[in-house]
Amino acid sequence: MDNRRIRIAVFIAVPALLLLLPFVVYLVDRGISNGEVPRNVSIVGIDVGGLSRSDATAVIAAYERDLASEKAVFVVNGTTFELDPVTVGLDADVDGAVDTAMGQRAGGVFSGFVPWIRGFSDQIDLDLPIVVDEEAIDVQLAAWEAEAITNPAYEGSIEMSGTTVVFEYPRIGDRIDMDAARALVVASLETPERQTVELPLTDSVPELSAADIDEAVATLKRMVSRPILVHDEEQNKVLTVKPSEIADATVVTIVRESPARIDISLDPEKVAAILEPYRADFELPPVNVGFDVDIETDEVTIIPSKNGTVIDADAMTTVLFDAATSGSGSATMVYTDGAEPEYTTADAEAFGPLGLVSEFTTSTPGENRVHNIHLMADTIDGYVVWPGEEFSINEVVGQRTEAKGYLRDGAIIGGVVTCCDDPANVGGGVSQYGTTIYNAIFFGCYEDLEHTPHSLYISRYPEGREATLGYPKPDVRFRNDTDAPVIIRNSYDGNKTITVKFYGNNGGRKCEAERSERYNYTDPKTVYEPNPAVAPGSERVVEKGSQGWTVTVTRVMTMPDGTVIRQPFTHRYRGHVRVIEKNPCDLGQGPCPVRVPSVMWLPADEAAARLTAAGFQVARTTQSTEDPNADGVVIAQSPGGSQKPGTTITITIGHYESGDG
């Protein structure tokens, strides 16, 4: 019984042990090969079974290096090209492939038994993921295409030759079939044993059509079909842009990037060159703020300032392009702001209230002088002297000339009123305007820079408070030493008066005049003038002359705070010259005349001796006479009276001839 049981137990145990033996071997093998790639596992055909992770990685990395070091060869349209895999970023995921290999036939203690058994018969070959930069491949393909394709698609051409449009239509050509070629390149790079690969071509169809070219040609012809008239209606000016100028400035570009198109434009620099000669005529300088003065009411109104204007060449490029492409032939000049004025509307508003500061009126006798005064007044009327600026009559008016319309009239020349052959007589009489404006300066309390009273006193002018004019000197000048402008307005009442008004804001100053008594009298200067009609040794008084004197006029300026400033101006009048006429000989201008002695009825020789002794030359003539008493004596002499020494006196000698008895 016991033996039977033992035999039965052995009978059962032995097969069980036989069945457990493979599992035991599996367990032993699993323990021994832990950390290795399972058997019969390969990567891209490379057996890595039984290798450790590091060894498997080294083997596959060597394979990757082989892939990267071997150049691939391609043929495009008969031209051979080599491709270095590194240039397109070839990279293999070695670590990932080894990780995948290590994970083959994995499982738990019991679940891994069956895969272990299969590992003795089943082969597992894994891929090695290869990564390339497809954009870099496309760049390389485009470069090969540009070099190897001799007949690519042609998008046509179009350009201007003068005013003629020259063009070609698009044509179909060849190109690399990019999708197929890219796939072939990638496949070649994944294979270590690389063969020369021919890349396929396909038709290259232009994106532009003949209709696109025709449309552009029509536009270009329209652009040069007629000149373009550029108007400035405000200035009533027009400039003409010729078709040849438009053609020269036209830029035609065929843009070949997808989508292809034809761009037509005008070159801004060439448009600027077309407009450049017209800038001086069309552009405007800045205009300072102005002032409108009603001289009846003395009301001052601000006329707004204006910025300067310059031609906007960029905007005109668009304007001319639109006019040319539309075929209208007409455009409007476009400007942009230029320089700002020195004095703006805002500046004027900041000056505060402007009104009448001073005025002065003088009477205007005469005709030519009144014309000259009015001409000067009209020239200066409305002139604005800005704060801190100096005003000069001679700088504003310039030299008075007949070409400017000035007439000749009396002027003081060398202390004598003279008319009218001297150049100084042109513009004679304008000193009256000088006197009038000087008094406006005086009573306006503005800083006097220069004024010169007349050398002779003229009763119609304020004594000591008047000013003469000449060119370039004397002048009337003042400085606007206030914070507001001075607006000069002139008016005249026919031929009667001239009035100068100053408008502005002098800050509240008030000026009055004080005049001293005359002092330092002087006798008149005597001038001798030659007159042959005056007998030697005598004289004739032509002008009695007058005394000169000195006078002081003081400007008394009262400031807003009550401070009083006294400004004296002293002037000496010379007085009129005393003019006396004398015989030239009395003035040392040659010898005085001598009375010719009478030699009538004296014998010829005695008469000649007497005349010679008196200092004269003698000339003799004879004349027949019937008077025997006249024979050989002087019967006539010439000239008589008083003559200069050395004058030839002719004596006539009588000659008697007796008749036959």
DSSP, residue by residue, 151-171: S--B--EEEEETTEEEEE--B
Q: pLDDT value at position 220?
A: 95
Cis peptide before 472 (omega within 30 of 0): yes
DSSP, residue by residue, 456-494: S--TTS-TTS-----SSSS--EEE--SSS-EEEEEEEET
Give the residue, 27 or 44, on which the prediction is more confident: 44
Exposure string of 563-581, with b = 16+ CB inside 10 Å and e = fewer, is eeeeeebebebbbbbbbbb
In a shared domain, residues 580 and 616: no
In a shared domain, residues 25 and 137: yes
CA distance 385 to 484: 9
Closest residue by Cα to residue 224 from 242, 207, 206, 240: 242
Single residue among 543, 574, 590 that ends a domain in this structure? 590
Domain membership of residue 158 (yes or no) is: no
CA distance 353 to 348: 9
Please, are residues 198 and 184 in contact by the beta-carbon 8 Å criterion? no
Domain membership of residue 9 (yes or no) is: no
In a shared domain, residues 365 and 501: yes
In a shared domain, residues 566 and 435: no
Domain membership of residue 2 (yes or no) is: no
Burial of 6 (0-12, 13-18, 19+ CB in 10 A): exposed
pLDDT digits (tens, 9 = 90+) for 402-433: 898 888 765 565 555 665 566 666 657 788 99
Per-chain mean pLDDT for the chain? 88
Closest residue by Cα to residue 596 from 634, 644, 635, 633: 644
What mean pLDDT is predicted for residues 551-576? Answer: 96
Single residue among 444, 476, 506 that ends a domain in this structure? 506
Residue 335 has pLDDT above 70, yes or no: yes
Q: pLDDT value at position 557?
A: 98
Residue 49 has pLDDT above 90, yes or no: no
Domain membership of residue 119 (yes or no) is: yes
Residue 175 has pLDDT above 50, yes or no: yes
In a shared domain, residues 399 and 470: yes
CA distance 229 to 327: 11
pLDDT digits (tens, 9 = 90+) for 618-661: 999 999 988 899 899 999 999 988 888 889 999 999 999 875 44
Q: Is the dihedral of CA 185, 191, 196, 197 positive or negative?
A: negative
Q: pLDDT value at position 638?
A: 93
| Rg, Å, the chain Cα set | 61
What mean pLDDT is predicted for residues 325-343? Answer: 94
Closest residue by Cα to residue 360 from 448, 271, 260, 461: 461
Element (H or E) spanning 482, and its range? Answer: none
Residue 16 has pLDDT above 60, yes or no: no
Q: How many Cβ atoms are within 10 Å of 320's Cβ, its own excluded? A: 24
pLDDT level of residue 153 (50, 70, 90 thresholds): confident
What mean pLDDT is predicted for residues 442-460? Answer: 94
Report residue 572: phi and psi, to 5°: -110, 120
Domain membership of residue 190 (yes or no) is: no
Please, are residues 116 and 105 in contact by the beta-carbon 8 Å criterion? yes
In a shared domain, residues 461 and 494: yes
Task: Pick the range with the lowest mean pLDDT from 228-237, 250-259, 496-505, 508-517.
Answer: 250-259
* pTM for the full predicted model: 0.57
Q: pLDDT value at position 328?
A: 92
Domain membership of residue 343 (yes or no) is: yes
Mention every residue, 6+ apart, whose C-beta is less than 8 A from residue 525. 415, 545, 574, 575, 577, 578
Residue 109 has pLDDT above 50, yes or no: no
Report residue 280: phi and psi, to 5°: -60, -35
Q: Is the dihedral of CA 333, 334, 340, 341 positive or negative?
A: positive
Mention every residue, 6+ apart, whose C-beta is less than 8 A from residue 21. none
CATH number of the domain bearing residue 613: 3.30.10.20
What mean pLDDT is predicted for residues 87-101? Answer: 89
Q: pLDDT value at position 26?
A: 46
Beta bridge partners of 9: none
CA distance 415 to 75: 112
Tally of domains within the chain: 5
In a shared domain, residues 359 and 463: yes
% of the chain beyond a pLDDT of 90? 62
The two tokens of residue 504 are 């502005």
CATH number of the domain bearing residue 585: 2.20.230.10
Q: Which domain holds residue 625?
A: 593-656
CA distance 39 to 49: 4
**Helix count (H) and strand count (E) of the chain?**
16, 42
Share in percent of the chain as helix, strand, coil (round to 5): 30, 30, 35
- Where in 596-647 does DSSP place strands (E)? 617-625, 634-638, 642-643
First to last CA, the chain: 250
Residue 155 has pLDDT above 90, yes or no: no
In a shared domain, residues 379 and 451: yes
In a shared domain, residues 355 and 491: yes
Half-sphere exposure of 54 toward its Cβ, with a 13 Å CA cutoff? 0
Question: Taking the mean position of all CA atoms in its chain, how far away is CA 340?
Answer: 13
Residue 67 has pLDDT above 90, yes or no: no
Closest residue by Cα to residue 227 from 242, 245, 246, 210: 242
What mean pLDDT is predicted for residues 470-497? Answer: 94
What mean pLDDT is predicted for residues 432-438? Answer: 95
In a shared domain, residues 98 and 38: yes
In a shared domain, residues 488 and 538: no
Residue 13 has pLDDT above 90, yes or no: no
Q: What 8-state DSSP symbol labels residue 456?
A: S
pLDDT level of residue 110 (50, 70, 90 thresholds): very low
Place of tokens 């394979």: 63
Task: Pick the range with the lowest mean pLDDT from 368-377, 426-435, 511-520, 565-574.
Answer: 426-435
In a shared domain, residues 606 and 563: no
Give the residue, 603 or 413, on which the prediction is more confident: 603
Please, are residues 185 and 198 in contact by the beta-carbon 8 Å criterion? no
Q: pLDDT value at position 115?
A: 58
Domain membership of residue 152 (yes or no) is: no
Half-sphere exposure of 372 toward its Cβ, with a 13 Å CA cutoff? 27
Q: pLDDT value at position 661?
A: 40
**Which stretch, 30-39, 89-98, 383-392, 530-539, has highest mean pLDDT?**
383-392
Q: Cα–Cα–Cα angle for 247, 249, 251, nearest 5°?
A: 90
CATH number of the domain bearing residue 286: 3.10.20.800
Half-sphere exposure of 202 toward its Cβ, with a 13 Å CA cutoff? 8
Domain membership of residue 177 (yes or no) is: no
Single residue among 476, 506, 536 that ends a domain in this structure? 506
